[in-house]
Homo-oligomer: A and B are copies of this chain.
Amino acid sequence: MNEVLMAGLYVFVLAAFLGYQVISRVPPLLHTPLMSATNAISGISLIGSIVTAGAQYNRVSTILGVIAVTAATINVVGGFILTDRMLRMFKREKGPETK
């Protein structure tokens, strides 16, 4: 267990540094899409929920799991769709008027 913890800590710290570097390079222009993107990515808790929902440990566990799957999927699907919808709108130069 302690080795798993150590390995996890390394991954955590490196990811934290990396996150800091990567995110601080995102221009203010894209801060709203960034929020919605990280929101979608945080839907990764889906992979924990799926196991909980499918493993049939006991009834309560399954119900909680299904709710969790639903909630996480909303974030993943909704988040990515929305992010893309926003990003599609950003254009450097004037495009043809689309109204």
Which residues of A line the B interface, CB within 8 A? 7, 10-11, 14-15, 17-18, 21-22, 25
Contact = CB atoms under 8 A, between A and B. Distances in A.
Given A7-B11, A21-B21, A21-B22, 10 more contacts: A7-B7, A10-B10, A10-B11, A11-B11, A14-B14, A14-B18, A17-B18, A18-B18, A18-B21, A21-B25
A22 B15 CA distance: 13
A21 B22 CA distance: 8
A50 to B, nearest CB: 20
Contacts of A17: 18
Nearest to A13: B14
A21 B14 CA distance: 12
A15 B7 CA distance: 13
